[in-house]
Structure 1
Amino acid sequence: MRSRTFRSRGGLRGFALVAAAGTLALGGPTAPAVAQTVGPPLLDPSKVATGGLTPLNYKQKQGCMRGNPGNSLIEEKPWSQLVLGFERAHEEGLRGTGQTVAVIDTGVNASHPRLRGKVINGGSSVPDGGADRDCDGHGTIVAGIIAASSDPTGQSGYVGVAPDAEILSLRQSSKLWINEATNATIGDTETMSRAINNAVDRNVSVINISQSSCQSIAQARNYYDSGNQMLHNAVKRAYEHQVVVVVAAGNVGEACQKNASGSPTTAVLPAWFDEYVLTVASVNQQGAPSEFTVPGPWVDVAAPGENLITLDPGVGGEGLASQIATGENGQAGPIQGTSFAAPYVSGLAVLIKEKYERENRPLTAGQIMDRIKETALHPGGINGRNDIVGYGMVDPAAALADVVPGEWGKQAPPPKPTKLDADVIPQKDFPALIIALGGAGAGVAGIIFTAFLINAVRSVRARARENSGR
């Protein structure tokens, strides 16, 4: 069976980025504001090249996104940055130093000043350049959330979660390159698998996958599907090599249908392989779940994914962007998607890994994932989780604390009260109560009868003695 495709969502014709300086017109389709979804098969598996598959019969149908020629300035800090509070970790010296995050996506525009010098070209499946180039803009936004440097001028408060971390860019997909025969775009479960193995071989700390393949549950369970099997093996291998794999929960639309809580019909890959990955849903500024998040039992935690401020992702971009225009009319709208919630969690995983390596007590991938889940702001529900936001929005301060709930010593249970309180008696168990009272009454009657009998015997013996004395 052929591998499943990752492709961008929607047939968008034009877009713009809106920043504080004004509207930025771009010469291509929108940067995918949502996790990318499944489409038809696309690559010739016999044409294998280093870093991925080399596509045949693919042509670039639209121009690359172009950055704003001016350095757009947005002074305020993003709400996501304020609510997560990860800058407190920076003040304590936790900035991702010595850590590398693999961003498996559409590439990263390494020329952006906030990313300059920290992007490693890990290989590309797209034929127009290496992984330090991003025509779509999607991967650049993701990389910026993880590792954007602070503004050297001090005019902007925007900064990445782990600003000293390096980014290994693996360019495994693009919606701008179309196969003329199948109308498919570049990127599928096989190229994704190869990218994951590539990242593991390069000893990265964390892998961020802000793309998803939505399939029916039956398809996801079909391990004869070579692409799905490869993807399963790749994330399992990463987990066993102590690499934390963070993935987007996926967004409703096209192949991704909104699952009923507790009864999914659509599987989201790689999130489907939940034992080995940490799956991230999106919440809005009010802390409510985003309407576009695909629910499922694989959802682990949530992070901000709406109304985001990001790096200008266009080629040559230097500033920030607060909106993105999508659709035929090119109307501006907020930047949102589980694609952009996931990198906040990837950055947090980096900081946790850095902290415990510095203290010479490194954590396994499973321990880091558990720490993030245990310290999240749990929603109501069985065991403090649900299928929409998992264990809740991540809490960096709690996750970076010295002790988390799962590590607390268990206290001895309090002694049981010796006094029988009124509310202990089963109020509705009348037969048992009657039997108990009857038994107690019989016991009392027996005692009284015994006392009477003893007294009678004594009286008889006393009269006998009196008669014998006469």
Structure 2
Amino acid sequence: MMRSSYSRSRGALRGFALCAAVGTLALGGPTAPAVAQTVGPPPLDPSRQASHSLQSFPFPQKQGCMRGNTGNSVIEEKPWSQLVLGFEQAHDQNLTGRGQTVGVIDTGVNATHPRLRGKVQNGGSSVARDGGGDKDCDGHGTIVAGIIAAAPDPTGQTGYVGVAPDASILSIRQSSKLFVDDATNQTIGNTETMAQAINIAVDRGVSVINISQSSCQSIAQASNYSDSGNQELHNAVKYAYERGVVVVAAAGNVGEACQKNPSGSPTTAVLPAWFDDYVLTVASVNQAGAPSEFTVPGPWVDVAAPGENLIALDPGVNGNGLASQIATGDNGQMGPIQGTSFAAPYVSGLAVLIKQKFPDLTAEQVMDRIKETALHPGGINGRNDIVGYGMVDPAAALGDVVPAEWGKAVPPPKPKKLEADVIPQKDFPALIVAMGGAGAGIAAIIFTAFLANAVRNVRARARENSSR
């Protein structure tokens, strides 16, 4: 039975693990001809449940691990993404992700990076050789984890910080493009192992799961009942959703197996975003707020976040600083850090902060809160297939009440209006009475003084007459 596996572009073994144009690990498989049908996943078989342990692949390593930058990697400025989202204001309110754990299902995380040290739990690995979720040869998962939970720079030399710097990371290394089967050219990871990783993360008590990987398939293949990997992935995200875990996934990037869908008529399904009822899907925007050229549209896209020209933790082995570019392409040339892979963790970090502030919200309520408070674009019902409901707005999402929750929570007291009768006004009738009374009093005093003086004068004249 066919299971969707990671696709690999020509010459990928000669290039660096992070794909230049997309910045994400694309899941894919043999494509079937597209057929006209209703867009949306079919009701899959609930009996197809993935294991709660991770499959291991004994594939040989075909390329060396990414190495950290040995030069000066200090970047003083705060990233534009950090300035635009403004999530540091939440940190000032002690919303830092403390007590929350994020499952990062990716290529692993280099736990030795100083800004991640002590934060990373080993959730297991599909890499049989040199395995461990706390290792990352590809570098991809380390960037993702840093966007979510990088600690502030203790030296104060850089302004870079994660969205939820006090959160923990459960790293599950379920994929890698550097370990390849000689017989089939298959790389490590597929939709079945992704489903397994989701089940493990839920069982380990995470509150949010970040999946910065995508399986791009034709609509026909995604709807194929016989693909057990797809069915297991569907049931895994449903399992997470029903247990209050927010699953955040990348929208996918054009390239490899991913095609750019025409608006309103998709031909390519992106998994796990395809299972939209249970997943919050994130597109990418650039510094101008426009959709990134590489982001894959679809009716399953929910929101967007910064995904171009990013600053990130140096993702290489023994890296200890920051990076604004990474080695990409077949020849290892340098390129910008970009992709929906790196837009998704901004939203995962925001979900963590919401979970911290509102621990009783369900996964659906957290997802709705993020969507309803986003900066809505034009389109029917304030959304479109490219950026969904628009770029996320952390300040609004962390507000006390959002529209969907009116009636479910006590709304905050409304500020009193500054009506005209609230402002003290001059009371002219009272002033007239008061002034009249004051005038009468003064007149009485003057009259009394005049009368007393007149009496004295009369008495004086009387005395003078009597003495004559």
Displacement after TM superposition at 1:70 (Å): 4.2
Aligned length: 387
Structure 1 segment 26-105 matched on structure 2, within 5 A: 29-30=17-18, 33-40=22-29, 51-56=53-58, 58-70=59-71, 72-105=73-106
Pair 1:365-2:363 in alignment: yes
Q: Secondary structure at the match of 1:373?
A: helix
- Report whether the alignment pairs 1:4 with 2:14: no
Contact 1:95 1:161 in 2 (8 A): yes
Runs ≥4 residues deviating over 6 A: none
Distance in 2 (CA, whole Å) between partners of 1:29 and 1:399 is: 35
CA RMSD of superposed structures (Å) = 1.9
What SS does structure 2 have at the residue aligned with 1:333? strand
Greater CA drift, 390-399 or 221-230: 221-230
Partner of 2:422: none
Q: For residue 246 of structure 1, give the secondary structure of its aligned residue in structure 2.
A: strand
**Counterpart secondary structure, 1:275:** helix
- Offset of 1:110 from its aligned partner? 0.1
TM superposition shift of 1:298: 0.2
2:291 to 281, 289, 292: 289
Map 1:238-387; keep pairs closer than 5 Å: 238-357=240-359, 362-387=360-385
3-state SS in 1 of match to 2:304: strand
| C-alpha contact (below 8 Å) 1:271/1:278 kept by paired residues | yes
- Which residue of the partner structure matches residue 109 of structure 2? 108
Q: Tell me the distance in 1 between the aligned counterparts of 2:102 and 2:402.
A: 24
CA distance in 2 between counterparts of 1:152 and 1:67 reads 20
Query: Deviation of residue 269 (structure 1)?
Result: 0.2
Structure 1 residues without counterparts, runs of 5 or longer: 16-27, 42-47, 411-470
The offset of 1:331, in angstroms, is 3.2
Aligned pair partner of 1:137 in 136, 139, 144: 139
1:204 equivalent to 2:177? Answer no
Provide the rounded CA distance (Å) in 2 between the counterparts of 1:207 and 1:98: 15
Q: CA, structure 1 residues 74+232, in 2 after alignment: closer, same or farther (shift >3 Å)?
A: same
> Aligned-pair distance for 1:51?
4.2
| Rounded Cα–Cα distance in structure 2 between residues aligned with 1:300 and 1:39 | 22
Of 162, 166, 169, 1:167 maps to 169
Distance 1:190 1:333, change over 3 A: same
* Residue aligning to 1:121: 122
CA, structure 1 residues 13+175, in 2 after alignment: closer, same or farther (shift >3 Å)?
closer
**What secondary structure sits across from 1:112 in the alignment?**
coil
Q: In structure 2, give the amino acid aligned to 1:35.
A: T
Deviation of 1:205 after TM superposition, in Å, equals 0.4
Which letter maps to 2:6? Answer: F
Distance 2:388 2:6 in 1: 24
The structure with the larger Rg is 2
What code does the residue aligned with 1:267 have? A
Distance 1:49 1:381 in 2: 41
Residue segments in structure 2 that go unaligned for 5+ positions in a row: 31-49, 409-468
**Per the alignment, in what secondary structure is the counterpart of residue 83 of structure 1?**
helix
Separation of aligned partners in 1, 2:365 and 2:9: 34
8 A contact 2:19–2:329 mirrored in 1:
no
Contact kept, 8 Å, 1:31 with 1:137, in 2: the verdict is no
- Give CA deviations for 1:398-419 in whole Å, capped at 9, x if unaligned: 0000121333479xxxxxxxxx
Question: 2:175 aligned with 1:177, yes or no?
Answer: no
Shift of 1:332: 2.2
Q: Partners in 2 of 1:238 and 1:391 — Cα distance? A: 23
Task: Sort the Cα spacing of 1:299 and 1:10 in 2 relative to 1 into closer, same or farther, 3 A.
Answer: farther
Contact 1:209/1:247 (CA < 8 Å) preserved in 2?
Answer: yes
SS of alignment partner, residue 123 of structure 2: strand
C-alpha separation in 1, matches of 2:18 and 2:89? 34
Shift of 1:54: 1.9
Aligned-pair CA distance for 1:34: 2.5
Cα distance between partner residues in 2 of 1:209 and 1:10: 24
Q: 1:266 to 1:387 in 2, by over 3 A?
A: same
Paired letter, 1:310: A
Whole-Å separation in 1 of the counterparts to 2:348 and 2:277: 17
CA distance in 1, matches of 2:212, 2:68: 22
Q: Secondary structure at the match of 1:52?
A: coil
CA distance in 1, matches of 2:61, 2:10: 17
Secondary structure of the structure 2 residue equivalent to 1:156? coil
SS, match of residue 341 in structure 1? helix
For 2:8 and 2:163, locate their aligned partners in 1 and report how far apart those are by CA, in whole Å.
26
Amino acid at match of 2:24: A
Q: Tell me the percent identity.
A: 77
Partner residue of 2:160 out of 154, 158, 161: 158
What CA distance in whole angstroms lies between the structure 1 residues aligned with 2:19 and 2:315? 8
SS at match of 2:277: coil
CA distance in 2, matches of 1:403, 1:49: 39
Report if aligned partners of 1:9, 1:34 keep a CA contact under 8 Å in 2: no
SS of the residue corresponding to residue 38 of structure 1 reads strand
After TM superposition, the score normalised by the length of structure 2 is 0.80
Q: How many angstroms apart in 1 are the aligned matches of 2:104 and 2:275? A: 19
Please give the secondary structure, in 1, of the residue aligned with 2:197.
helix
TM-score, length-scaled by structure 1: 0.79
Which AA in structure 1 matches 2:2?
Answer: R
Structure 2 counterpart SS, 1:282 = strand
Distance 1:63 1:369, change over 3 A: same
User: Which amino acid is the alignment partner of residue 2 of structure 1?
Assistant: M
